[in-house]
Amino acid sequence: MIKDNFTIKKIQEGLKCKDFSAVELAKKYLKVIEEKDKDIHAFLEVSENMALKQAQEVDEKIAKQEKLTLLAGVPCSVKDAIMVEGLKCTAGSKMLKNYKAVYSATSVKKIVEQGALILGKTNLDEFAMGSSTEHSAFGPTKNPWDLTRVPGGTSGGSVASVSAGENIFSLGSDTGGSIRQPASFCGVVGLKPTYGAVSRYGLIAHGSSLEQIGAIANNVEDCQTVFNTIKGKDEKDATSVALSFPTTNLPTGRQVAGRTTNYKIGIPREYFGEGLDEEVKESVLKAVKGLEEQGCQVKEVSLPHAVYALACYYIISTSEASANLARYDGVRYGHRAKSQKQKANSLLEDYIADRSEGFGSEVKRRIILGTFCLSSGYYDAYYQKAQKVRELIKQDFALAFEKVDLLITPTSPFCAFKLGEKLDDPLQMYLADIYTVSINLAGLPALSMPCGLNKEKLPIGLQIIGPHFTENKIFDLAKKTEITLEK
Ligand code: GLN
């Protein structure tokens, strides 16, 4: 019998005791997808054959009594901006509607080597631009907690699939909050690793200096296991680093009976002010109080340049996006406009036709904004200025981390909003990222995890932020405040 509420550990135990086989597991979860995904629409493609083949291989290894690998038989999914060889990779865009990946991302290779079963590719906002998954060219994903609401974005499909029990974990990407904000909307755990901790090889680029592939799971331990699998230096990504992550979580000189019960936690004043929903604030502060009762020291800190983070992020990310998306011109990559009428007087007209048809409105908005920011005469005023502000934001964090070990903030100023509510108002949509983007600007690791439900029974998320490469500390603190939300 296969029980519900599975974790990676329970799956491993079940496989070891022969309670079920990996093939049975794959079939069970494929069935859940078949039943639930009609309503949720987390998946753009379900890869039944791939999952069953991978499951068979795991079962063969078990039959030969080989040692179980870290993710043996664990059903998962991959955001459709990350390549899985042989499966489509659309980036949620008409531009890449028929593109089939010819290689796998390094992070995908690593999870497959460890025995994970890939059930499919998950929905996202087009080219990972958005905060609700409504900008997908293939229709929105719904929040499993309330189908009239968004799951957040851009890794909305990944997060909704984990939240709905369609798989155990998912790989997402986070350029400005795209793992953490949807994780908070759907009541799951999501980590944006330190910049350079995980290879970006095989991730369709949006903002290259900002983004990381990260893990989404139902609990902190599973999130940590997946992160441990995908982290590390990759020769194919020059920005990945070979640092060893401190395995000890003990802040020196502050151990209590060998345990880290006394982290110094910073509460950044700027993240608890205007615009923050009262229930979100109360719930996050309640979790902080709980940690204080366990022996942590809590201290208010200031990140004075936080107010510029959103403006700074939208200049840098759109500038990078405008360069990264130049390759989709219908010649080198992407959609070819069908109508011959629009085409062919010149190469430029050709490009215009292909790009006008292939991209959706949010992507076009960003390409125009980014191109403007980088254009001669405006480069200094916008892009270069934003780079200077980025440095100040980084310094704010560095100064705060001289006083405290970790920071706690809300992940999002509000809970999941209604489908359509912010779709016509890009500025309102951008505000959903107000607490997440500065972490990407500074290249820091941060995790979102559930800390309660609001009156409407919607999940609330809190964010733990640490200095570079302190993922282990973040996981350690997260485990101390981990709760299970009752649906
Ligand atoms: N919502 C942010 C944006 O639209 C973040 C996106 C992301 O992290 N990919 O840019």
Lowest mean pLDDT among 1-10, 102-111, 287-296, 455-464: 1-10
pLDDT of residue 254: 55
Q: Is the CB of 174 under 6 A from ligand 1?
A: yes
Q: Which atom of ligand 1 is nearest to the CA of 155?
A: 9
Please, which pLDDT band fits residue 84 given cuts at 50, 70 and 90? very high
pLDDT of residue 134: 98
Tokens of 158: 């990944």
Angle of CA points 321, 362, 44, to nearest 5°: 90
Contacts with 424 (C-beta within 8 Å, 6 or more apart), sequence order: none
Average pLDDT, integer, range 391-395: 98
Q: Which atom of ligand 1 is nearest to the CA of 210?
A: 8
Q: Which atom of ligand 1 is nearest to the CA of 429?
A: 1
Q: Which atom of ligand 1 is nearest to the CA of 130?
A: 4
Q: Is the CB of 318 under 6 A from ligand 1?
A: no
CB 119 within 8 A of CB 51: yes
pLDDT of residue 27: 98
Confidence check: pLDDT of 56 > 50 = yes
Q: Is the CB of 130 under 6 A from ligand 1?
A: yes
CA 269 to CA 300: how far, in whole Å? 6
How far is residue 433 CA from its own chain's centroid? 13
Confidence check: pLDDT of 439 > 50 = yes
Confidence check: pLDDT of 322 > 80 = yes
| Each residue's pLDDT tens digit, 73-82 | 999 999 999 9
Angle of CA points 43, 113, 478, to nearest 5°: 70
pLDDT of residue 258: 47
Residues with active-site annotation: 79, 178
Contacts with 383 (C-beta within 8 Å, 6 or more apart), sequence order: 315, 316, 319, 373, 374
| Each residue's pLDDT tens digit, 271-320 | 999 999 999 999 999 999 999 999 999 999 999 999 999 999 999 999 99
Confidence check: pLDDT of 339 > 80 = no
pLDDT of residue 343: 56
Confidence check: pLDDT of 214 > 50 = yes
pLDDT of residue 347: 86
pLDDT of residue 486: 82
Instruction: Tell me the CATH architecture of domain 7-487.
Output: Alpha-Beta Complex (3.90)
Please, which pLDDT band fits residue 243 given cuts at 50, 70 and 90? confident
Q: At residue 108, what is the residue type?
A: V
Confidence check: pLDDT of 64 > 60 = yes
Q: Is the CB of 370 under 6 A from ligand 1?
A: no
- Work out the percent of the chain whose per-residue pLDDT is above 90: 90
Q: Is the CB of 168 under 6 A from ligand 1?
A: no
CA 402 to CA 424: how far, in whole Å? 42
Tokens of 232: 């590390």
For residue 131, report the distance from its CA to the centre of ligand 1, in Å.
Answer: 6
pTM of the shown model? 0.96
Confidence check: pLDDT of 251 > 70 = no
Please, which pLDDT band fits residue 1 given cuts at 50, 70 and 90? very low
Strand order across the 264-268 sheet: 43-46, 117-122, 75-79, 169-174, 212-217, 189-192, 446-453, 459-465, 406-410, 264-268, 297-301
Q: Is the CB of 203 under 6 A from ligand 1?
A: no
For residue 207, report the distance from its CA to the centre of ligand 1, in Å.
Answer: 9
Q: Is the CB of 362 under 6 A from ligand 1?
A: no
CB 316 within 8 A of CB 323: no
Average pLDDT, integer, range 114-127: 98
For residue 130, report the distance from its CA to the centre of ligand 1, in Å.
Answer: 5
Mean pLDDT of the chain: 94
Residue located nearest, by CA, to atom 5 of ligand 1? 176
CA 468 to CA 313: how far, in whole Å? 19
Tokens of 486: 């009752």
Q: Is the CB of 176 under 6 A from ligand 1?
A: yes
For residue 154, report the distance from its CA to the centre of ligand 1, in Å.
Answer: 6
pLDDT of residue 338: 78
pLDDT of residue 246: 62
For residue 206, report the distance from its CA to the centre of ligand 1, in Å.
Answer: 9
Confidence check: pLDDT of 247 > 90 = no
CA 487 to CA 450: how far, in whole Å? 12
Distances (CA, A) of 75 to 106, 165, 226: 18, 10, 12
Average pLDDT, integer, range 396-414: 97
CA 432 to CA 424: how far, in whole Å? 14
